[in-house]
Amino acid sequence: MSVTTMKTCRVSVSDLERFCLGALRAAGTSENHAWATTEALVKADSWGVFTHGTKLLAGYLRRLRAGGIRTDVEPEIVSDGPAWAVVDGRSALGQVTGAFAMRSAIAKAKAVGVSYVGVRNSNHFGAAGYYAWLAAREGLIGVAMCNDVPSVAAPGSRTAVTGTNPIAYALPAGDRDPILLDIAISTVAGGKVYVAHQRGQPIPPDWLIGSDGKPTTDAKLYPEHAALAPMSGHKGYGLALLIESLSGLLSGAAMTHQIGNWMRGDASEPTRHGAAFLAFHVDAIAPSGEFAERVRALSDEIRATPTADGVQRVLLPGEREWANHQRAMLEGIELPPDVVVSLEGAALSAGVPTPWENEL
Amino acid sequence: MSVTTMKTCRVSVSDLERFCLGALRAAGTSENHAWATTEALVKADSWGVFTHGTKLLAGYLRRLRAGGIRTDVEPEIVSDGPAWAVVDGRSALGQVTGAFAMRSAIAKAKAVGVSYVGVRNSNHFGAAGYYAWLAAREGLIGVAMCNDVPSVAAPGSRTAVTGTNPIAYALPAGDRDPILLDIAISTVAGGKVYVAHQRGQPIPPDWLIGSDGKPTTDAKLYPEHAALAPMSGHKGYGLALLIESLSGLLSGAAMTHQIGNWMRGDASEPTRHGAAFLAFHVDAIAPSGEFAERVRALSDEIRATPTADGVQRVLLPGEREWANHQRAMLEGIELPPDVVVSLEGAALSAGVPTPWENEL
């Protein structure tokens, strides 16, 4: 087994899935948990969202081995009503709990039209957009969000107050790909700051807040001595608190500094992340076929918008990701070097071959 | 009756209410419609949100006279299920329909835990935060949003693609004031651009997109030759489409360029705005008392965050507005000059005295 750096690897979706499944099985997960996690991670890679794809696997394997993520449990609904539920993830893989919770939300929305499912005792769950898409795939509007360890400042603060608290939604669009947005409430993700630091590039003044509470352009200060800036100041901060409210406050999950750091924290301890899922049963609320027709008209209108020089077309949220997905299904996924390195580490730790092992 | 410019006027909340009621009655509205509209407008002024308070009255009176806003109708639920409803506003005052829709959402959430109410054929409804607060006042989490005429660019566009599509939420906080956020998805409101233009002040490069699709700092271009920039680029644009989806797509309201311009459009035509309301019945979902305790702990944690020099304390969303509200109830509201001028116009057109008439 060779350790490869700074090289990309092209793998087929099915080979990448097989690798993830093997590594997760080797870590003791059930077949169901291995599949749920694999599908979420590989879907993110196929969208080109490599920060939230199989790159996460190595960290999950570490927590599985140390006991912070449990293999011998199933998430369960601990309380519910006609239009809502609270799910206890019991420290299972975040993808297992996330998919279970969104499926619960879908079932309730199909029964009564709209639903909310709050989650406690979850883990890092990867790309929020994956869960939103689970709903859109069945013709519902899906919304997914979660809380996380504080890394984002509030207006006027010297330190981080909220997590990057991502929110995603997916909108079914008839025979077209769902409209799909997945964003963090910080101006940029921490990963972009790391990349700028590694490359010695300057960063814009609205990315980081230094430990004096003022904007800083010194990327190396993050995360020890700087926090991410909330998008549009009080707007991003305020949205972070709405997401915290639905993911943490209402569900009874850990909040802000009580959440475990899934990457740098004690891997034997649960992180107790919260999450929230909303589903809207389009077919119940809008006349049959009318919704898809209206989505199509809105999409066509947006695509026909005149653009700046050099811009071919105004894109719908998710359009780039679905183009990546189509290419991935046909030609495989070109994994960037950081993912390749991470998967080689995962393969080593799990004692399974990388997807490209046989080719070397 | 004197026309006063560039002067502020202090009025009591009750005098301001009495004035609004009188002007709306004179325009032919029922007692219920006059009260619903007055309460929403004066509440916004009491929060210090003067752009969305009684300053709007003159424009509403114009539409009431011209027939674009109707006085002889009531909003009604045209379809519903256990956890949702679609309300047709029938071109009544937007505040009447908004309050009716949020009350419907509250009732449904009290029955099944969570609810969505979509609105079609509404009008400009003022401050979204008012409707969110209606829910929080009864112990529920409320979310309110609406669509509007396009004034905000999308990444890469030369022209406006979405409205400023505001979203607001209110979170009940036990014996404390609700946490309350009300934001537009543009970097700043158009009003701020007008003010900068009037004062000849330069504006930051992230406020406007010129007709070449590039950022511009020339405030006088707006709105004819520039659009507002979406907050954080694709993030604000993507959220605008979620808000459009719940307010317009799902409810069957007008969308984007089909919406009437309530200020500059034909006042005899309905605007057909859409809106959406969500309510979460906290007492059903979280153990009694626990939610308030958790909100308190989170609020205290945020308030104790170390701050930048010159910043006294990290504020919770809405804290400034509730401080204004408390002062307004004790000392009255100091209306800024633009509101004073607008109310004098409203008084003239309605044939009623201004609240400060007797004092002059």
pLDDT in tens, B227-284: 999 999 999 999 999 999 999 999 999 999 999 999 999 999 999 999 999 999 999 9
| The residue count for chain B | 360
CATH architecture of A9-69+328-359: Orthogonal Bundle (1.10)
Chain A and chain B share a number of CB contacts under 8 A equal to 232
Test mutation, A88, A176, A249, A320, chain B, max B CBs within 10 A? A249
CB B237 within 8 A of CB B161: yes
Look up tokens 């201004």; give the residue.
B354
Q: Do A307 and B81 touch (CB under 8 A)?
A: no
Q: Do A314 and B156 touch (CB under 8 A)?
A: yes
CA–CA distances in Å: residue B302 to residues A158, A255, B73, B296: 12, 12, 46, 10
Q: Do A157 and B286 touch (CB under 8 A)?
A: no
From chain A, pick out residues whose CB is under 8 angstroms from the CB of B282.
Answer: 250
Asked which of A110-119, B3-12, B53-62 is least confident by mean pLDDT, the reply is B3-12
Q: How confident is the model at residue B205 (pLDDT cuts 50, 70, 90)?
A: very high
Nearest CA in chain B to A85: B285
Structure confidence at residue B199 (pLDDT): 87
Q: Do B112 and A83 touch (CB under 8 A)?
A: yes
Q: Do A291 and B246 touch (CB under 8 A)?
A: no
How far from each other are the two terminal CA atoms of chain A, in whole angstroms? 9
Test mutation, B182, B242, B290, chain A, max A CBs within 10 A? B242
CB A62 within 8 A of CB A39: no
Structure confidence at residue A359 (pLDDT): 55
From chain B, pick out residues whose CB is under 8 angstroms from the CB of A164.
Answer: none
What pLDDT digit, counting tens, does each position of B319-357 carry?
A: 999 999 999 999 999 999 999 999 999 999 999 999 998
Q: Do B241 and A306 touch (CB under 8 A)?
A: no
State the smallest CA–CA distance between residue B55 and chain A in angstroms: 24
pLDDT in tens, chain A (360 residues): 444 457 999 999 999 999 999 999 999 999 999 999 999 999 999 999 999 999 999 999 999 999 999 999 999 999 999 999 999 999 999 999 999 999 999 999 999 999 999 999 999 999 999 999 999 999 999 999 999 999 999 999 999 999 999 999 999 999 999 999 999 999 998 888 988 898 888 899 999 999 999 999 999 999 999 999 999 999 999 999 999 999 999 999 999 999 999 999 999 999 999 999 999 999 999 987 899 999 999 999 999 999 999 999 999 999 999 999 999 999 999 999 999 999 999 999 999 999 998 654
CB count within 10 Å of CB A70 equals 21
Q: How confident is the model at residue B85 (pLDDT cuts 50, 70, 90)?
A: very high
Structure confidence at residue A44 (pLDDT): 98
Give the dihedral of Cα atoms B341, B346, B348, B351; nearest 10 deg.
-150
Structure confidence at residue A192 (pLDDT): 87
Q: Do B311 and A249 touch (CB under 8 A)?
A: no
Structure confidence at residue B3 (pLDDT): 47
From chain B, pick out residues whose CB is under 8 angstroms from the CB of A308.
Answer: 156-158, 212-214
Structure confidence at residue B200 (pLDDT): 87
**Alpha-carbon span A110 to A36, nearest angstrom:** 22
CB B20 within 8 A of CB B54: yes
* CATH 1.10.10.410, domain B9-69+323-359, yes or no: no
From chain A, pick out residues whose CB is under 8 angstroms from the CB of B307.
Answer: 156-158, 213
Among candidates A151, A146, A103, A102, which has minimal Cα distance to A122? A146
Among candidates A234, A247, A228, which has minimal Cα distance to B181? A234
Structure confidence at residue A145 (pLDDT): 98
- Domain definitions of chain A by residue range: 9-69+328-359, 187-229
Among candidates A263, A266, A14, A280, which has minimal Cα distance to A132? A280
The CATH fold of domain B76-285: Ribosomal Protein S8; Chain: A, domain 1 (3.30.1370)
From chain A, pick out residues whose CB is under 8 angstroms from the CB of B242.
Answer: 143, 169, 171, 181
Structure confidence at residue A2 (pLDDT): 44
Q: Which residues pair with A120 in a beta bridge?
A: A88
**Alpha-carbon span B244 to B149, nearest angstrom:** 11
For residue A336, say if its preceding peptide bond is cis, omega within 30 degrees of 0: no
Where would I find the beta strands (DSSP E) of chain A? 9-11, 76-81, 84-88, 114-122, 141-146, 152-153, 160-162, 167-173, 176-183, 208-210, 215-216, 226-228, 273-280, 333-335
**Alpha-carbon span B234 to A321, nearest angstrom:** 14
CB B282 within 8 A of CB B113: no
From chain B, pick out residues whose CB is under 8 angstroms from the CB of A309.
Answer: 212-213
Global pTM reads 0.97
Complete edge-to-edge strand list for the sheet that includes strand B152-153: B160-162, B152-153, B226-228, B208-210, B215-216
Structure confidence at residue A1 (pLDDT): 41
State the smallest CA–CA distance between residue B98 and chain A in angstroms: 19
**Alpha-carbon span A314 to A359, nearest angstrom:** 40
State the smallest CA–CA distance between residue B180 and chain A in angstroms: 9
From chain A, pick out residues whose CB is under 8 angstroms from the CB of B157.
Answer: 305-308, 311, 314
Test mutation, B80, B165, B180, B232, chain A, max A CBs within 10 A? B232
The CATH fold of domain A187-229: Wheat Germ Agglutinin (Isolectin 2); domain 1 (3.30.60)
Q: Do A235 and B231 touch (CB under 8 A)?
A: yes
State the smallest CA–CA distance between residue A352 and chain B in angstroms: 39
**Fold: same for B9-69+323-359 and B76-285:** no
From chain B, pick out residues whose CB is under 8 angstroms from the CB of A111.
Answer: 82
Q: Do B113 and A156 touch (CB under 8 A)?
A: no
